[in-house]
Structure 1
Amino acid sequence: MAQLTRRTALGVLGTVPLAAGGILPSRPAPAGASGRRGVPQALRAYDRYLAGQAEQDLFSGTMLVAHRGRTVLARSYGMADKQRGVPNRTDTIYNLASAAKPFTGLAVVQLAERRGLRFYEKIGTYLDGFPDQVATQVSIHHLLTHTGGLTGFTGDIERVFHSVAEWTEYSRQRTRELSLRFTPGTDKAYSSEGYEILGEIVATVSGQPFQQYVREHIFAPAGMTDSAYYTRSQWLTNPRIAHPYIYQQDGTRADGVRDLDAGATINGGFGTNAARGFIGSGGGGGFATAPDLVRFAQALRDDTLLKRPYRELYLGGKVSSPPLAGPTPPSPADPRRGEPFQAYGPIAASFNDQRIASHGGGIAGGNTNWSIYLDTEYVGVILANYDLHDIQAVIDQEREAIAGGR
């Protein structure tokens, strides 16, 4: 009998009913990390790795691997709310940070599919108040691909917001203060500010607040019933939403929702705290569960969110996208790792000749990443309410387990 390859074995395991050892159907898994008996061989190293990280208190959160919408492996570690003794579970809701940017990109592509806007049109076509060089030179395509050349926001990282209206007006005002640092289209520089502007364009074109548009046109059709742009007050009171535990320089961790004075030392910019903002917006900050992100992948695949031509436009790579600089440098060169490209929200990557659409995010007290393995119909989700010292190492373990072929 021929030996099963890793990809073949995972494909078989992903299409039969599995329940032992934490290999679960699509329902919430028990909290904790018990029951590793029966884990597919290809996923065991990943499973052991993350369990070891959790045992050292280096990981708190949820990981999930699904195939064709069914959960193959799900683990949850640590506490969603230490003060109230609420553990993380498979259905715990996490702040996605910048991993929510692809929702913004998708909203724009949906509006383009409905002929509500054009990618080549400039910011000034839809919004007023911008400096002339920004309004007339920066296009929607530039914003989606981080090639708009916009300067970044400065100051006010300690400000605490108290309403949706206050945050929305502040974002509107500060985007009008941006200028150009390079000619649009001639370079690439990651820009949350550009996605803030895209969120405002979505609201203007659709006639709905950005968060409402995403809820009605992305979350609801995809069946993402737990996903939303939750407010800080909901973050504080809803026991299902994981609190961010911010690593401090003395080695302790502070609850970022309860302690708004606590600031980042690893992720999100030194001294920042995402909970000071009242609500997420085009630049990120949406919330989701791991199963909801699997539903998102399924809804992309089955034409629920976009028809095929615009789905391929959304997911297809546009601009070469070198890894972002940060506290976790990219892994050493691996010949199986293809060059990443920026798509219209997601990153279009490849590993071992398999196409992957993904995006990650980091805030004070949180790291996230979701990956859609387009050729094998796998989805991998990593949601942590710790700011991790090495999120890339976790992603590498997932890539090896699902697409490594060894």
Structure 2
Amino acid sequence: MTDDPSRRSVLGLLGAAPLMASTGREPAAAGRSLEAYDDYIRDLADQDRFSGTVLVAHRGRVVLSRAYGMADRERKIPNGPDTIYALASASKPFTGLAIVQLAQQGRLRFHEKLSTYLDGFPPDVGAVTVHQMLTHTGGMTDPTNSAGGGDKILNSIEEAEAEGRKQAREQKLRFVPGTRKEYASMGYNVLGEIVAAVSGMPFHEYMREHVFQPAGMRRSAYYTRPQWLDDERIAHPYMLQEDGSRIDGVRNLDKGGTIGVKGSNSARGFIGAGGGNAFASASDLLRFAWALKNHKLLNRAYTEMWLSPKISGPSPGVPDPRRGESFHAYGPIAPIFNNQRLITHGGGIAGGSTNWSVYLDTEWTAVVLCNYDLRDLQQIIEQEREAIAG
């Protein structure tokens, strides 16, 4: 593969201020490890096992930026450093942040029940608290057909919102709220509905005005399916099929993926919801990290509330003695690796695999955005951790 401009390292400075002083490796010390990480991603791309954008930055300065594959094969548009991707569940922390913004303003409280803000739920579901939904301890369902998953094709924002409300109110709890932790996208869809009810704004408009714009995330939004189809800046999802081929999910709503929930296709849902599928570029996610560090989205106290560990859970992947206990915060996952704190979240849809991480103690930010559904995402994250915090 030739070294074209989309593959060269990009150096830039966003002027990020650290949450705390750096105690980890500096770019010069991390150089060899980052070269190995870079080579690893390139090898995957050469085997057509990765299509997308990766970014690594230190103190706001981009140290590594690469793009591989095609954003739109039909129109021959390559992925680039500013290509926009569907984030899947990697956008859940945005929903949690919106809830914490409203709490900072005194407009909701974490101990309050769901029924305080929304109606139409069975009594046991209505008794789930905001805190429990944020920390995946509410017993709600997963996987969630977020605002129009499954086979149903939705064709407007209004229809998607109505379908999401219907699914939320038809769910049955899997366990007594607060007795254990199990990942539940439905809880975050309901949190998105609470954001809309408390703010008086449609969820996607609230997020644009109060999260993306203040963070300088100019390319980020909850795009609709027609925008996903037509906007040349947005990568199309290429869903792996049983025969090894990949199909454009936006152009083939009758088709679904084979990894994860069989037959799923998030493009059928028209627009994302609190549970997932905001869209962002790698550079916008770096701007998000900058905005957090500079308290552009929450004040200092509520920033710490949003990102600090709340509930523990098992760590994913192969056991590693450097991996500490994994926690969930109010949106992000908050693990410890090699005695360093992170906030992070990944996501997966048919034709999409994403992850972003902020290394709080060492001032690194790393982003992986892919328009393939990957079996290798966890291995990519392991390589990233090794390069930055190993």
TM-score by structure 2 length? 0.91
Deviation at 1:151, TM superposition (A): 3.4
Letter of the structure 1 residue corresponding to residue 130 of structure 2: I
For residues 98 and 212 of structure 2, the distance between their equivalents in structure 1, rounded to whole angstroms, comes to: 11
Unmatched runs of 5 consecutive residues or more in structure 2: 14-29
Deviation at 1:261, TM superposition (A): 1.4
* 1:43 and 2:34 matched: yes
Deviates more, 1:113-122 or 1:332-341: 332-341
Q: Which has the higher contact order (CA 8 A, sep 6+)?
A: 2
RMSD: 1.6
Map of 1:354 onto structure 2: 340
User: Is residue 140–residue 173 contact of structure 2 (8 Å, CA) maintained in 1?
Assistant: yes
Which of the residues 22, 32, 36 maps onto 2:8? 22
For residues 292 and 138 of structure 1, the distance between their equivalents in structure 2, rounded to whole angstroms, comes to: 33
For residues 43 and 8 of structure 2, the distance between their equivalents in structure 1, rounded to whole angstroms, comes to: 17
- What whole-Å deviation, never above 9, does each CA across 1:181-211 have from its counterpart, x for those lacking one? 2111001111111001000000000000011
Which of the residues 112, 126, 134 maps onto 2:125? 134
Map of 1:234 onto structure 2: 227
User: Is residue 149–residue 269 contact of structure 2 (8 Å, CA) maintained in 1?
Assistant: no
Map of 2:388 onto structure 1: 402
Aligned residue pairs: how many?
366
Deviation at 1:156, TM superposition (A): 6.3
For residues 255 and 338 of structure 2, the distance between their equivalents in structure 1, rounded to whole angstroms, comes to: 41
Deviation at 1:276, TM superposition (A): 0.5
User: Is residue 236–residue 248 contact of structure 2 (8 Å, CA) maintained in 1?
Assistant: yes
* 1:344 and 2:330 matched: yes
For residues 109 and 295 of structure 1, the distance between their equivalents in structure 2, rounded to whole angstroms, comes to: 19
For residues 234 and 212 of structure 1, the distance between their equivalents in structure 2, rounded to whole angstroms, comes to: 16
For residues 377 and 79 of structure 1, the distance between their equivalents in structure 2, rounded to whole angstroms, comes to: 31
Map of 2:298 onto structure 1: 306
Which of the residues 83, 98, 103 maps onto 1:112? 103
Map of 1:54 onto structure 2: 45
Unmatched runs of 5 consecutive residues or more in structure 1: 1-18, 28-38, 324-329
User: Is residue 69–residue 79 contact of structure 2 (8 Å, CA) maintained in 1?
Assistant: yes
* 1:174 and 2:167 matched: yes
Which of the residues 359, 382, 385 maps onto 2:368? 382
Map of 1:247 onto structure 2: 240
Map of 1:64 onto structure 2: 55
Which of the residues 148, 151, 162 maps onto 2:138? 148
* 1:210 and 2:196 matched: no
SS at 1:143 equivalent? helix
For residues 118 and 393 of structure 1, the distance between their equivalents in structure 2, rounded to whole angstroms, comes to: 38
For residues 314 and 389 of structure 1, the distance between their equivalents in structure 2, rounded to whole angstroms, comes to: 30
SS at 1:91 equivalent? coil
Map of 1:4 onto structure 2: none
Which of the residues 60, 71, 88 maps onto 1:80? 71
For residues 377 and 156 of structure 1, the distance between their equivalents in structure 2, rounded to whole angstroms, comes to: 37
For residues 228 and 302 of structure 1, the distance between their equivalents in structure 2, rounded to whole angstroms, comes to: 21
User: Is residue 86–residue 280 contact of structure 2 (8 Å, CA) maintained in 1?
Assistant: yes
User: Is residue 26–residue 291 contact of structure 1 (8 Å, CA) maintained in 2?
Assistant: no
Map of 1:157 onto structure 2: 150
For residues 230 and 181 of structure 1, the distance between their equivalents in structure 2, rounded to whole angstroms, comes to: 31
Map of 2:178 onto structure 1: 185
Letter of the structure 2 residue corresponding to residue 128 of structure 1: D
Deviation at 1:42, TM superposition (A): 2.6
* 1:257 and 2:250 matched: yes
SS at 1:64 equivalent? strand
For residues 309 and 381 of structure 1, the distance between their equivalents in structure 2, rounded to whole angstroms, comes to: 26
